[in-house]
Amino acid sequence: MPGYDVHEYDVLVVGAGGAGLRAAIEASAAGVRVGVVTKSLLGKAHTVMAEGGMAAAMGNVDDRDNWRVHFADTMRGGQYLNNWRMAELHAREAPERVRELEAWGAIFDRTPDGRILQRNFGGHRYPRLAHVGDRTGLEMIRTLQDHGIHQGMQVHMETTLLCLLLSGGRCVGGFGYDRERGRYHLFLAKAVVLATGGIGRAFQITSNSWEYTGDGQTLAYLAGAEMRDMEFVQFHPTGMIWPPSVRGILVTEGVRGEGGVLKNNQGKRFMFDDVPENYRSSTADNPEEGWRYTQGDKNARRPPELLTRDHVARCIRREVRAGRGSPHGGVFLDIAWIKEKLPNSVEHIKKKLPSMYHQFKQLADLDITREPMEIGPTTHYFMGGIQVDGDTQMTSVPGLFAAGECAAGLHGANRLGGNSLSDLLVFGQRAGEHAAAFARRQQPETPGAVQDQIHAAIARAEAPFERGPGGESPYAIQHALQEIMQNWVGIVRTEEELQRALEAIADLRHRAERVGVGGNREYNPGWHTALDLESLLTVSELVARAGLERRESRGGHFRDDFPGKDDNWAKVNLVLRRGPDGRPESRSVPVPPLPEELRQAIEENK
């Protein structure tokens, strides 16, 4: 059996995106030894792709904003299935987390009086997103990276965990491998923070990078942790759709925030046709008012293009299905039209949306300052994930924490744009603080106590080599899974399709047991793909399973056979865990009643 290197830490952070780095910085500041394991190189995590900004009620652009409004917006966006304690902490603490980034070297765009500029975004009542053009994620990850490397943490780049290690009912570390040399590594830790991001790679069309294979959710689930809200997947309304090789790449909501409009092939702004009841009073009913809103008029209401993502995505799908779509099966997103309003529109668009200009010019031969873009929905974000305590971010497994996209609760049934980057900071910080505090109370574990788990992990990881290149192709299984999830567990679902998906996933599991690869362990993508299958299949099964149970439509979960909201489901979260027979067990858990102060915050912002 191959050997392994041993590393000992107080806190092991898994993932080096926004949440992981923020957790690692906080734990380091608490004076404990911190190790960071990251699947890619430092600074390349999916956070880098976030565009629009981070939501924080700083009130720099509109001083009517405050945490209570942000809280109410987040709860309404999440259809009140949010963990309200997380929504409260997030709204209260986000401004401080943004200021902290500035103290670490981030350079945000500025207001005329020199403060951090904030922009409009879907579902947010006031301009709230601190941003840097349309590359806010890059600014955030680079700031955390450049600050973090001087805080004493040890970073293991291009390293992936195969399993978490348990001893005496608590999490005591993880076991994994590095890509470059293919060596195995044992990480013993007194506390582990999962910050591994989402699951987009389970779908064909996604804005997510390859790393989003649901590793953290699967590691936690297999370690016995509870999962929640697994049915809620966010399909971002605007992804590129043409040419085929760029299908899914994100087109930031910032395009609509800057005045971009959605049109069908008849040139009609179809979003005015379908405004949900609970947003009607805050939505513009004519194009002129919508335009004034995007230009900062405080008396104007937001255009319907800035309704929540789940709603906009379904409206686009409706237009396409009704034969009113664009040539390649989407609709048109037009920012070029603002030349009617702004004499310097070309420069303005390039300044406000530089990455979008660049992306379309280079990948689609299209100049967004002159022509409309063709866009369609793309798998973007996972609201569900690991159930955590709102204050500490600890999971139901002692010593195991989770933060960022892999954790669930803050966003409920649907996430508002801009609430993700602030989520990473607020709960990354909290996870780091509480993981460090937990670690201080624990004794270290010895390799001997987890020997069996290590041997089992190595045996599983070596198995594809033993079957060799004649086995099932890992790529073929991955592609088949992506097709199943895209077609049957996508933006619109039915009982029959979800059942079919679960059967197909079970078949793929059998095929995955026969997967084989050639070559050796050194930087072997075939092997990496084979090892990722476990996570992809596990999260896919849980998403389909939860989707089957929620027999209604809400937020990021739409059932064609139950297209309306059902009051019985309005205040219930679905919680899944691994049963004794290895199959998922589910139970519905009522949302706890809101404290009076929070209830009032929602009432006064209705």
Residues numbered 294-313 forming contacts with other proteins, rule: CB under 8 A: none
502 binds other proteins per the rule CB under 8 A: no
Minimum gap (Å) between residue 105 Cβ and other proteins: 3
* Alpha-carbon distances, residue 600 vs 77, 99, 128 (angstroms): 17, 28, 21
Q: Which stretch binds other proteins (CB under 8 A): 7-15, 368-376, 398-406, 560-568?
A: 368-376
Minimum gap (Å) between residue 57 Cβ and other proteins: 15
Minimum gap (Å) between residue 378 Cβ and other proteins: 11
Distance CA 576, CA 166 (A): 20
The number of residues that bind other proteins (CB under 8 A) is 76
The smaller minimum CB distance to other proteins, of residues 327 and 343, is found at 327
Closest listed residue to residue 422, CA positions, set 54, 131, 92, 83: 54
**String marking each residue 371-410 x if it binds other proteins according to CB under 8 A:** xx-x------------------------------------
Cβ-based neighbour number of residue 391 at 10 Å: 11
Cβ-based neighbour number of residue 487 at 10 Å: 14
- Which residues, other chains included, contact 432 with Cβ-Cβ below 8 Å and sequence gap of 6+? 11, 13, 22, 23, 24, 25, 26, 27, 29, 30, 193
Binding test (CB under 8 A) with other proteins, winner from 3, 103, 343, 344: 103
**String marking each residue 7-46 x if it binds other proteins according to CB under 8 A:** ---------------------------------xxxxxxx
User: Any alpha helices (H) in 365-418, and if so which ranges?
Assistant: none
The smaller minimum CB distance to other proteins, of residues 362 and 446, is found at 362
48 binds other proteins per the rule CB under 8 A: yes
Binding test (CB under 8 A) with other proteins, winner from 523, 549, 571, 602: 523
468 binds other proteins per the rule CB under 8 A: no
202 binds other proteins per the rule CB under 8 A: no
Percent helix, strand, coil in the chain (nearest 5)?
40, 20, 40
What phi and psi, each to the nearest 5 degrees, are found at residue 204?
Answer: -70, -45
Residues numbered 409-438 forming contacts with other proteins, rule: CB under 8 A: none
Closest listed residue to residue 547, CA positions, set 558, 561, 535: 558
Cis peptide bond prior to 327, omega within 30° of 0: no
The smaller minimum CB distance to other proteins, of residues 136 and 453, is found at 136
49 binds other proteins per the rule CB under 8 A: yes
Minimum gap (Å) between residue 366 Cβ and other proteins: 6
- For the chain, give me the number of helices (H) and strands (E)? 16, 19
Minimum gap (Å) between residue 242 Cβ and other proteins: 7
Distance CA 569, CA 593 (A): 15
Residues numbered 157-176 forming contacts with other proteins, rule: CB under 8 A: 157
Sequential DSSP letters for 132-146: STT-HHHHHHHHHHH
Task: Kindly state the tokens that stand for 426.
Answer: 């607020």
User: Any alpha helices (H) in 188-308, and if so which ranges?
Assistant: 215-222, 254-257, 287-294
The smaller minimum CB distance to other proteins, of residues 151 and 605, is found at 151
Q: Catalogue the E-assigned strands of 65-183.
A: 118-119, 129-130, 154-156, 159-167, 170-178
362 binds other proteins per the rule CB under 8 A: yes
Residue with tokens 């476990």: 534
Residues numbered 215-244 forming contacts with other proteins, rule: CB under 8 A: 242-244
Cβ–Cβ under 8 Å, residues 310 and 234: yes
**String marking each residue 174-193 x if it binds other proteins according to CB under 8 A:** ------x-------------
Q: Which stretch binds other proteins (CB under 8 A): 163-171, 229-237, 306-314, 469-477?
A: 469-477
Closest listed residue to residue 529, CA positions, set 471, 453, 452, 459: 471
284 binds other proteins per the rule CB under 8 A: no
Minimum gap (Å) between residue 350 Cβ and other proteins: 11
567 binds other proteins per the rule CB under 8 A: no
370 binds other proteins per the rule CB under 8 A: yes
Angle between helices 525-549 and 215-222 (to 10 degrees): 70
Residues numbered 131-150 forming contacts with other proteins, rule: CB under 8 A: 132-133, 135, 137-139, 142, 146-147, 149-150
Q: Which stretch binds other proteins (CB under 8 A): 3-11, 107-115, 341-349, 565-573?
A: 107-115
469 binds other proteins per the rule CB under 8 A: yes
Residues numbered 524-543 forming contacts with other proteins, rule: CB under 8 A: 524-527, 529
268 binds other proteins per the rule CB under 8 A: no
337 binds other proteins per the rule CB under 8 A: no
Minimum gap (Å) between residue 406 Cβ and other proteins: 17
Binding test (CB under 8 A) with other proteins, winner from 109, 389, 495, 566: 109
**String marking each residue 81-100 x if it binds other proteins according to CB under 8 A:** ------------------x-
Minimum gap (Å) between residue 451 Cβ and other proteins: 30
Q: Which stretch binds other proteins (CB under 8 A): 280-288, 445-453, 471-479, 556-564?
A: 471-479
Binding test (CB under 8 A) with other proteins, winner from 222, 300, 346, 363: 363
Distance CA 305, CA 261 (A): 6
476 binds other proteins per the rule CB under 8 A: yes
Minimum gap (Å) between residue 486 Cβ and other proteins: 17
Angle between helices 136-148 and 84-103 (to 10 degrees): 70
Distance CA 442, CA 429 (A): 20
What phi and psi, each to the nearest 5 degrees, are found at residue 402?
Answer: -145, 145
- Which residues, other chains included, contact 80 with Cβ-Cβ below 8 Å and sequence gap of 6+? 412, 570, 571, 591
* Alpha-carbon distances, residue 360 vs 332, 368, 440 (angstroms): 14, 7, 50
The smaller minimum CB distance to other proteins, of residues 87 and 481, is found at 481
User: 432-470: b or e for each residue (b if 16 or more CB lie within 10 Å)?
Assistant: bbbbbebbeeeeebeeeebeebbeebbeebebbbebeee
The smaller minimum CB distance to other proteins, of residues 245 and 299, is found at 245
Q: Which residues are catalytic?
A: 236, 256
The smaller minimum CB distance to other proteins, of residues 42 and 87, is found at 42
